[in-house]
Amino acid sequence: MRVALITEWFNTYEGGVAGHVKNLALILKKNKIDVSIITNKMKEKTEVNVPVYEVEGIKDPVFKLNLSPKITKKMKNILKDFDGVHCHHAFARLPLTGIHVADKINIPSILTTHTVSLFPDSEYLWRPLSYGYPRYRLQISKVKEIIAVSESAKTFIEYFADENKISVIPNGVDVNRFSPDNKNENVDRRPTILYMGRLVPKKGVHILIRAMSHIVKKYPDALLLIGGKGKMKTFLSSYANTLGLKENVRFLGYVPDNMLPNLYSSSDVFVLPSVTAESFGITLLEAMASGTPVIGSSVGGIPEVIGDCGLIVEPGNPKKLSDAVITFLDDENLREKFGRKGRKRVEEKYSWDIVGKNIINVYKEVM
């Protein structure tokens, strides 16, 4: 079986979809499937031991979508020798072109939707809007199966697609790479809170920084580590300084893959404070696999991922968020308890070995 994974974004720093595609490619290769990746021209190449086809073209400055009028022709030349395509992200040009081309050359396609948008539960907003784009509805109707990474993502894509084609298969995590065994006992033992992800408004990092102004009243030496890149970096840094948190907030920038496991397992608490449009939260899985207790906001797929293995707080409320962090900092036994529960949850439900087999079963059905 020869399968092409198509993704608009695959640079090393481009977040959850890029990470998902990389890990899926590795697990497919492990299971003897001939897999390749098709993506845009990359500036910072993601290291993955499978063939990667790069489609050149001018990108828009905001979403980095390929605007080239020639991508359909280029895609036909690449896909003609594949048995099927697996497109990632339901609202990006390259994967949608992959669906179109697969239909034209008569090979099956699968679509994984990784996202939700603003107000995802508002059927009165999205149902009428979806019918305003009949060409888009026609495009995704050509896929054999749609995989949603969470129930939240499934609910959102149902506005645009036949619900009978949609199944939920979550994101996965490498439970061998991310493990409590990676903890460094020699690290600075300041109470440490970790955030990993893009620095964009919807992630709510500004709420977490505001929450730190409450946390330091009880834990003056508490340290918030913020890993990731984004356009809000300058604002967030200034905001932390304005709140008098210069010594309590540290921006790590892009964190290389080889440093992530130790960073997760050596932190006391991991926080994902998203305020909207969060379909999943892969960083939650990485933290849980590392045995680190997690806190997430009640947005999108976050509660679904955490289950009863962490604390859920109201989005956009820094006081509630600080109370949750302090709850964990106050009680080492509670941190260990939730760390163990989180680790067990990812082993049973989110291991890439399990997730990969479920996706391969879909391949077998449609290809």
pLDDT at 16: 81
Nearest CA among 26, 27, 90, 18 for reference residue 355: 27
* pLDDT tens digits along 199-236: 999 999 999 999 999 999 999 999 999 999 999 999 99
Instruction: Place 185 in a pLDDT band, splitting at 50, 70 and 90.
Output: low
Do 2-172+351-366 and 180-350 have matching folds? yes
pLDDT at 23: 93
Nearest CA among 148, 25, 157, 38 for reference residue 99: 38
Nearest CA among 321, 323, 294 for reference residue 310: 294
User: Quick one: which H or E segment has residue 5?
Assistant: strand 2-7
Name the pTM for this structure: 0.90
* pLDDT tens digits along 273-302: 999 878 899 999 999 999 999 999 999 999
* pLDDT tens digits along 334-363: 999 999 999 999 999 999 999 999 999 999
* pLDDT tens digits along 123-181: 556 666 666 667 888 889 999 999 999 999 998 898 888 888 999 999 999 999 999 98
Find out if CATH 3.70.10.10 is the number for domain 2-172+351-366: no
The CATH code belonging to domain 180-350 is 3.40.50.2000
Q: Which residues pair with 98 in a beta bridge?
A: none
Helices (H) and strands (E) in the chain, counts: 14, 13
Domain-wise residue ranges, the chain? 2-172+351-366, 180-350
